[in-house]
Chain A
Amino acid sequence: MQAKSEQAVVPAEANAPAGTTGTSRRNKGKRPAATGKEARLGLLLVLPAVAVIVILIGYPTISSIWYSFTDRMVGSPGRFIGLDNYTRLATDSGFLSAAANLVLIVGVSLLLKLVLGTVVAVILNRPMPGRNLWRLLVMLPWAMPGFVAFMGLRLMFESPYGAVNVALETFTSPVPFLSDPDWARVSVVLATVWRGFPFWAISILAALQTIPKELYEAARMDGASAWQQFVNITVPQIRSTVAVVAVISAIWTANGFENIWLMTQGGPSTTTMTFPVLSFLSLQSRQLGQAAAYAVVILPVMALFIMLLSRRKKDT
């Protein structure tokens, strides 16, 4: 209560956290101090959105954490069982596989998206006929609905008659892209990269376009090769963009569901399992407590990503 009344009188910039001060500083001296009427209207306007967030996001988040300490099932409220849902994870092959895949599938996908995104951005940054059309084309995998992309890609990886195997048939016998554990991981990574690289490419392209041309001209005068120009000028200039895109993409990829569900459903066995798929499967088997534990256990990783992101934002 006290904090509330204080804020109503003290100008916002006095106690606003970093990040919001920019606006208030610009307003300084121009706006009248908050009046009761203004505060009421402001609260009224923000209320519906905050209500949605509190009821549909805040409450479920807390419930999920609570569920994860219970043996709740569909139709039975369950009872508190402490850390049982978590200790069970140590011997849970699905969990162990999902943890490994956080590195194997998510990590490798990110790395490939970085490489492919940079290459495509560099290509698109060159003068070329119909450049705008090419940019539209490159965005296609990202612009189409995810389920369309992954259903199509799954079909391509089918064995023995999928498009990829048909294309390879003169070189090799059919490759079990989706039914062999290692190949399944490869296929999922390739599909995830295909769907996700345009976001990287277009973000990196935007960063490339802010680099002053003079830097390259000066480097050329000094006799720098194209590769030297890339390493010494391009890379440092796009580094902060890449860092932010990497964190965003990591959050999206780690929470990705469609890519796995539509390609392999986490299989064969559990070799391409990820946390969202695990949680989804547990809900299907009506084990709400266990499903919640799978969702909660990845929170520290998400929190780390989000921390990295807000650190980055302050730097830039």
Chain B
Amino acid sequence: MKNQGRLATVLGMVFLAILVVPPVYYMIIVSLKPRSSIYRTPSWLPERSSLDNYVKVLFNDKFLVNIGNSLIVALVTTLLAMILGVLAAYAIARFKFPGRNVASQLILMSYLTPMVLLFIPLSVVVGNLGLADTLSGLILVYLTFAVPLCTWLILGHFREFPPDLEEAASIDGASRMRTLISILLPVSAPALATAASLAFMMAWGELFLALTFVKGQSVMTAPVALQHMSTGDVQQYGPIMAGAVLSAIPVLIVYYISQRWVVQGAAEGAFKG
């Protein structure tokens, strides 16, 4: 019986490894292969590994600029969405004002609005604002998913947290905004981390809107630049995979730091309502 259990465990681990590892391994191997050997000697084994592809993509293809763009867009989007999200969630969870329920319904509905419905008129709006082909334009457009996401996740948490502590503070004469900053925000750190990480991860890897809104080489974010390289005449798999691996690293770091909360939060965002 015990041996049978151990066998099942080993089989389970082998299954998980076969499921997840090969694509990841292959991407890394391709990124390390010298350019000539990807096509001529296709194989799963690394031969003559080198960092040439990384050097090429970063410096010859100026991918460093694109990584920088992604970083700016993801950070600014996250920051703005978190500020708007915290304020709105605080108001909806703790204040009585006309239209409170409408605001809360609006946020859920916009959380579920498909992006494909918005991007055509948005391209007109962004053009009229003179923000076509700029990072600011892209950030503005990214707020359409980041604000509802952050507000919704934070609101869920604020509603769960009993208002007793804040009431005690307000009896002591603390203002509503002081209470938010010194009491509610610190105890909500996990929810804030979840919302911020998810917004960052989504903004970092977003391709659909980025393809529509940033077209110039100097404003392309990482996914757009790589997609651009992959449609070029010569398929440069080595440098493309090197770029892909590089662009995965920041997101994986964010994920690793916040994974305790993120997975649960992603599910909760969906469950709470």
Contacts and interface: CB of A to CB of B under 8 A. Distances in A.
A52 B84 contact: yes
Interface in B95-132: 95-101, 103-107, 110, 112-125
B59 interface: no
Given A283-B119, A295-B114, A149 B270 contact: no
A212 interface: no
A224 B219 CA distance: 62
A89 interface: no
Given A23-B159, A306-B112, A316-B271, A16 B101 contact: yes
Interface in A96-121: 116, 119-120
Interface stretch (B21-29, B46-54, B182-190): B21-29
A143 B251 contact: yes
B91 interface: yes
B90 A45 contact: yes
A186 interface: no
B237 interface: yes
Nearest to A55: B125
Contact of A257 (B83, B125, B207): B207
Nearest to B176: A41
Contacts of A152: 23-24, 26-27, 241, 244
Nearest to B70: A145
B204 to A, nearest CB: 6
Given A56-B118, A57-B113, A202-B267, A156 B251 contact: no
Contact of B116 (A23, A33, A58, A257): A257
A146 to B, nearest CB: 5
Interface string B246-261: 0110011001100100
A306 B112 CA distance: 8
B116 A42 contact: no
Nearest to A136: B259
Interface in A235-278: 244-245, 248, 251, 254-255, 257-258, 261-262, 275-276
- Secondary structure of the A contact surface, majority rule: helix
Interface stretch (A79-87, A123-131, A175-183): A123-131
A141 B20 CA distance: 7
Nearest to A49: B88
A175 B58 CA distance: 34
A211 interface: no
Interface centre among B90, B91, B159, B212 (most CB of A within 10 A): B91
A64 interface: yes
A167 interface: yes
B57 interface: no
Given A43-B91, A46-B88, A155 B26 contact: yes
Contacts of B223: 145, 147
A74 to B, nearest CB: 9
B252 A144 contact: yes
Contact of B264 (A26, A49, A206, A310): A206
A56 to B, nearest CB: 5
B245 interface: yes
Interface of B: 8-9, 12-13, 15-17, 19-24, 26-27, 30, 38-39, 42-44, 83-85, 87-88, 90-93, 95-101, 103-107, 110, 112-125, 140-141, 143-144, 147-148, 151, 159, 162-164, 167, 176, 201, 204-205, 207-208, 211-212, 223, 226-227, 230, 237, 240-241, 244-245, 247-248, 251-252, 255-256, 259, 263-264, 266-267, 270-273
10 contacts: A48-B83, A54-B106, A57-B144, A126-B12, A134-B13, A140-B24, A146-B207, A155-B26, A257-B208, A310-B273
Given A52-B84, A161-B39, A166-B44, 16 more contacts: A23-B159, A39-B95, A41-B95, A42-B95, A45-B87, A61-B117, A61-B118, A128-B9, A143-B251, A145-B251, A148-B205, A244-B270, A283-B120, A283-B212, A306-B112, A310-B273
Interface of A: 3-5, 7-8, 12, 16-17, 19-20, 22-23, 26-27, 30-31, 33-34, 38-46, 48-50, 52-54, 56-61, 63-64, 67, 116, 119-120, 123-124, 126-128, 134, 136-141, 143-149, 151-153, 155-156, 161-163, 166-167, 194, 199, 202-203, 206, 244-245, 248, 251, 254-255, 257-258, 261-262, 275-276, 279-280, 283, 288, 291-292, 294-296, 298-299, 302, 306, 309-310, 313, 316
